[in-house]
Amino acid sequence: MDFFYRKKPWYAGQFVRKVIPKFALTENIILFFTVLLNKQKKKLLTVLVRNVDETFVNSMVKLPITKDNKIDFDFMESFIEELEAERIEELSAYLKASGFDNYELSSKEEKALQDFMNNKIEYGEFSYSKIFDQIKQGRRLKKEDQIPGKIPFIMAGTTNTGLVNYISNPVASFPENSITIDIFGNTFYRNYSFGAGDDTGVYWNSTIEYSKESMLFFASAMEKSIKGKFSYGKKLRSSQSYNLKMILPINQGKIDFDFVEKFISAIKKLVIKDVVLYADRKIKATNDVVDG
């Protein structure tokens, strides 16, 4: 029951519905509506699947209106623009304060990218149990039994990377620097300690301290290795994954951690570069409007 704005043409499976506006709307206004529709999630999750469409169509949402009782699309547009401007300024300040605005690649990072693009990397297969000595399944905890607290609680899904609540229940605790894979194959790296539901498997190594970059690479390799293999009809459990294999770069038969770390570092900088340049463009555009 998650709503997302789709800017480009797309395909979807049987569990996805599409909602098409009756009006010619701008991207900002569609984003405004997306937020409103996501507020219907709680209600939609309480009805049977066969009744979801009817419930949704008959749902009511509150919209800003003009003095003559018409939908105030101008307000929606300006509201989203103002929010975006505020967030861009906050993002720019954060990038500078954290040092993330430095996106220049080192010679080793540049070489790692070039070797990857030119297919100069040798690869090998590694079972999940070869990489992780701890492979555990979370424990069942129904929503109505969750007690508010400070423990991040992870369940199956991609919204907010599966983080559904903060609880205080005495659930099984999993360490930071772990990877979670839910029953559908959605894979995420966790840089914080957390609890997890029984629809989520957790992977980590208690004897080897893998770097964050290595774990990010593992997470991508694992998700790729199981992509399209699990669904509602065939759910993945951690106990079934010991012998699943991921493909990793190797050097003389062993995992090439030096390449892994340089490659992930380069990818992070490329992403940061796009974000920094995007923020700079947005701030300049805003300043031009104000100064003009």
Residue 18 in domain: yes
Is pLDDT of 126 > 80? yes
Q: Residues 84, 78, 288, CA angle at the centre, nearest 5°?
A: 70
- Select from 138, 133, 130 the least CA-distant residue to 205: 133
Is pLDDT of 290 > 70? no
pLDDT of amino acid 233: 84
Per-residue confidence at 247, pLDDT binned at 50, 70, 90? very high
What would the two tokens of residue 64 be? 């800003």
pLDDT of amino acid 94: 76
User: In angstroms, rounded to a whole number, what is the distance separating the alpha carbons of residues 44 and 223?
Assistant: 29
Residues 50 and 138 in one domain: no
pLDDT of amino acid 187: 96
User: In angstroms, rounded to a whole number, what is the distance separating the alpha carbons of residues 140 and 24?
Assistant: 45
* Average confidence (pLDDT) over 150-171: 90
Residue 86 in domain: no
pLDDT of amino acid 270: 87
* Average confidence (pLDDT) over 93-112: 82
Higher-pLDDT residue of 62 and 127 is 127
Residue 74 in domain: no
3-state secondary structure 208-274: CCCCHHHHHHHHHHHHHHHCCCCCCCCCCCHHHCCCCEEEEEEECCEECHHHHHHHHHHHHHHHHHH
Total domains in the chain come to 2
Residue 136 in domain: yes
Domain end position, chosen among 44, 62, 80: 62
Domain that holds residue 216: 122-255
User: In angstroms, rounded to a whole number, what is the distance separating the alpha carbons of residues 94 and 87?
Assistant: 10
Per-residue confidence at 245, pLDDT binned at 50, 70, 90? very high
Residue 25 in domain: yes
Per-residue confidence at 23, pLDDT binned at 50, 70, 90? confident
Residue linked to tokens 């940061």: 272
Residue 235 in domain: yes
**Helical packing angle, 73-98 and 257-291, nearest 10°:** 130
Residues 42 and 141 in one domain: no
Higher-pLDDT residue of 114 and 2 is 114
Is pLDDT of 286 > 70? no
Residue 276 in domain: no
Residue 244 in domain: yes
Percent above pLDDT 70 for the chain: 96
pLDDT of amino acid 57: 86
Say whether 31 sits in a helix, a strand or coil: helix
Residue linked to tokens 């905890």: 141
Is pLDDT of 95 > 90? no
pLDDT of amino acid 252: 92
Domain end position, chosen among 47, 62, 77: 62
Residues 47 and 157 in one domain: no
Residues 43 and 126 in one domain: no
* Average confidence (pLDDT) over 280-287: 68
Tens of pLDDT along 41-91?
888 888 887 888 888 888 888 889 898 888 899 999 989 888 888 887 787
Percent above pLDDT 90 for the chain: 47
Listed range (50-54, 92-96, 134-138, 179-183) with the worst mean pLDDT: 92-96
At 12, give phi and psi (nearest 5°): -155, 160
In this structure, what CATH number is given to the domain that contains residue 210? 3.90.220.20
